[in-house]
């Protein structure tokens, strides 16, 4: 089971990074201003990994192929969670 979790973290994180690059056109590194911290690609990598781990724990796949497939699907799902959070923020136009 721990191997499945490790694979899902890696695969979900890579899909999260790919989504970040597709959305922004480049890899944006984390940076800090005087008031804010912008996580860059790390936020999307963590969301993809987290979603992948949750789905793999819930589905309990039997083979590494199923773990990979579920992790890829969950990595894309992590991106949609970020989009929903951005839409629900007060003061944004919902782009």
In a domain, 56, yes or no: yes
- Residue whose entry in the numeric block shows the structure tokens 């590494």: 64
In degrees and rounded to multiples of 5, residue 6 shows phi and psi of -65, -45
Q: What is the pLDDT of residue 84?
A: 73
In a domain, 52, yes or no: yes
In a domain, 40, yes or no: yes
In a domain, 11, yes or no: yes
Q: What is the pLDDT of residues 13-32, one digit of tens each?
A: 999 899 889 888 999 999 99
Query: Which residues form the domain of 81?
Result: 2-88
In a domain, 42, yes or no: yes
User: For residue 38, what is the enclosing H or E element?
Assistant: strand 37-38
Whole-structure pTM value: 0.78
Q: What is the pLDDT of residue 44?
A: 87
Choose the weakest-confidence range: 44-48, 74-78, 90-94. Answer: 90-94
In a domain, 93, yes or no: no
In a domain, 51, yes or no: yes
The total domain count for the chain is 1
For residue 19, how many other CB atoms are within 10 A of its CB?
21
Q: How far is CA 94 from CA 15, 23, 27, 37, in A?
A: 24, 16, 23, 22
In a domain, 95, yes or no: no
Enter the tokens of residue 86. Answer: 């951005």
């Amino acid at each position: 089971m721990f191997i499945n979790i490790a694979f899902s973290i890696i695969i979900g994180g890579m899909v999260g990074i790919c989504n970040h690059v597709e959305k922004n056109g480049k890899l944006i590194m984390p940076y800090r201003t005087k008031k804010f911290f912008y996580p860059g690609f790390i936020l999307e990598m963590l969301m993809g990994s987290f979603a992948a781990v949750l789905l793999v724990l819930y589905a309990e796949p039997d083979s590494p192929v199923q773990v990979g497939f579920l992790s890829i699907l969950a990595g894309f799902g992590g991106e949609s969670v970020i989009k929903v959070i951005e839409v629900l923020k007060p003061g944004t136009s919902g782009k």
